[in-house]
Amino acid sequence: MTLEGEYEPSPEQWVRDQVAEYEASNGARMNTLPDHPEWPVVVITSRGAKSGKLRKNPVMRVEKDGVYAAVASKGGAPEHPTWYHNFVAHPEVDLQDRAEKHTYSVRLAEGAEREEWWERAVAVYSPYAEYQQNTDRQIPVFLLERKD
């Protein structure tokens, strides 16, 4: 089962384009950060906290034993990405990793578990460490566990 509803593409063109290309190719193209083959991405569909519409956002692929982390870094911006609020309001999302798409339950990692996943995330994508230095907020780390 995947989420159902009206899809509202991101207002950010590079995000919109990456999602469109990723989905159109079933995850075969645009499956890394552009020009960075060493940094794979997954695409997460969430339900808008206010609109109820489906929103799609690529994030870096951080995975262990079938569990994924979604790091709400927004490039070190002072505020959380809006999808943070979607995840909190509707803690069920779809995640596409290349050709595989499934539904996941979402929770915020805390304490030692967050530390463990934060280190894993930085090991995958080192710029996260700089993003954390550039913002006063603690960057949230969501854990996604497969439901279907």
Q: Does 59 bind ligand F42 (CB under 6 A)?
A: yes
Q: Does 12 bind ligand F42 (CB under 6 A)?
A: yes
Q: Does 3 bind ligand F42 (CB under 6 A)?
A: no
CA distance 94 to 44: 6
Report H helices in 4-49: 13-24
In the numeric block, the tokens 């710029």 are attached to 127
The token pair that represents 87 in the structure block: 């995840």
Q: Which is nearer to ligand F42, 102 or 137 (CB)?
A: 137
Integer CA distances (angstroms), 90 to 3, 4, 61, 70, 72, in order: 11, 13, 21, 15, 16
Q: Does 109 bind ligand F42 (CB under 6 A)?
A: no
Q: Does 74 bind ligand F42 (CB under 6 A)?
A: yes
Residues at the site binding ligand F42, with contacts judged by CB under 6 A:
10-12, 14-15, 18, 33, 41, 48-51, 53, 55, 57-60, 71-74, 81-83, 85-86
